[in-house]
Each structure stands twice: as structure tokens, then as C-alpha cells.
Chain A
């Protein structure tokens, strides 16, 4: 079974631009979560989508948004990029059900804002 894939793997953008990141979950997984990872803050939860609906949201500004498609693929958008948005953006998929809620991560998209 193929793992979680994220595209692109690396991205360089200029402050003020916007960016869209893509995530394809493991086949059969309906939940997709997004995280931002930086050396200073660690892994921070952005939001979770399930069946095309945002189910949970972390404490990030409205510049960060996402969506999920009917095939469970998800995109994350960041508008008006700031230098502080430079980070590794990770997507994780999971099966819904049971209480273990295990997550499987993609390799991430390394975003650099200059």
C-alpha cells in the first residue's frame, strides 16, 4: 500500500506571495491533518479534514487554510507569506475509528520564504 505523498517536496517563495501544498493520503484513509514544524516551536497542529469538512483547527491565523476533496486528497494554502512561515509542512492521514487514532506522515514540504 502506497504511503502518504506530498508535493512539492521543496518550495521557495517570496514574502507576500501565496502557496498551495498538496497531500495524497493512504488509500482508504479519510482523515488528513496538517502540521507545521519549526526548530523553535516543534510540531504544531494546523487543521484536520474528514469527509471534505474541517473537523479541528489549531491556533493559526486565517492566512492558513485548507480543503479536502471527495477522494480524500487535501490541499493547504498559505496567503500573504511571511518570513516566519518558513517551515516543514507535514501532512498525516489516519483511519477513523477505534481509539488509537494513529497517524501516518508524508515526507513533508520544505517551504522557504525569502
Chain B
């Protein structure tokens, strides 16, 4: 059983389209991180959200932490081929760090 469930699992879109990736849990997290991973490499940290309801923007990426700190979303505006990769949410609950199931995004030129 995964503590963090992501949806969708796979996403293939055309360049210029918008998309949203969801990260859900029944547990409360003190913080959530989003990572992007490219094939054969380690995940790269994109952002950390800490406060319930917090919204952070990173260029065309918008991250939101749910009010109850159980879920998060990542919205990409006008996707580019360079956005292609595996998007992972992660968070710490208790003393352990959990990763989500991942969303594999392909942006077609």
C-alpha cells in the first residue's frame, strides 16, 4: 500500500497544453516535496510546500498544498518538451520519507 497516490500515472500531451498532476494521501504530512526525474538520473527537487493551502510558483509550474496537508497538486501551463520526465511527490510523516507512485509525463513537440 502506497502512502502517497499520484494521478494520472501516465500523461502524454501536445506542446502548449496545460496539465495537472495530483498527489493524494489519507495521512497528514508536515511538508511535501515535488521532484522531477529524467531517465537514468536521480530525482531533482523542484519545490517544498509546508503550510496548508500554500501555493508556490516556479515559472510555468504551480504547486499547491491542500488545506489539510494531505494532498498536493502540480499544474503546468503551456507544457514544453523539456518538461518531459517522471514527476514524484514526496513527504515526511513521522520519521520516514515517502515517495508517491509517480506520474510519467511526455510532452510531444
Q: Whole-angstrom distance between the alpha carbons of A77 and B41 in the complex?
A: 21
Q: By DSSP majority rule, is chain A's interface helix, strand, loop, or mixed?
A: strand
Q: Which residues of B contact A35 (CB under 8 A)?
A: 99
Encoded as 1 (CB less than 8 Å from any A CB) or 0, chain B from 21 to 57 comes to: 0000000001101010000111111001010000000
B30 partner residues in chain A, CB cutoff 8 A: 99, 101
B95: which of A44, A55, A90, A106 is its contact (CB, 8 Å)? A55
Chain B binding surface SS class: strand
- Distance of B69 from chain A, by nearest CB (Å): 11
C-alpha spacing A105/B35, complex, angstroms? 10
Q: Which chain B residues lie closer than 8 Å to A102 at the CB level?
A: 33, 45, 48
The answer to whether A108 and B41 touch across the interface, beta carbons within 8 angstroms, is yes
Residues of B within 8 A of A99 (CB): 30-31, 50, 92
Measured CB to CB, the closest approach of chain B to A103, in angstroms, equals: 7
Question: How many interface residues does A have (CB within 8 Å)?
Answer: 25
> Taking A107-B42, A108-B41 as contacts, is the C-beta distance between A100 and B95 under 8 angstroms?
no
**Minimum distance in angstroms from A4 CB to a CB of chain B:** 7
Which residues of chain A in 26-80 are interfacial with respect to chain B, using CB atoms and an 8 Å cutoff? 33, 35, 42-45, 48, 55-56, 58
Q: Which listed residue (B2, B42, B98) contacts A105, Cβ 8 A?
A: B42
- Does B105 sit within 8 A of A, measured CB to CB? no
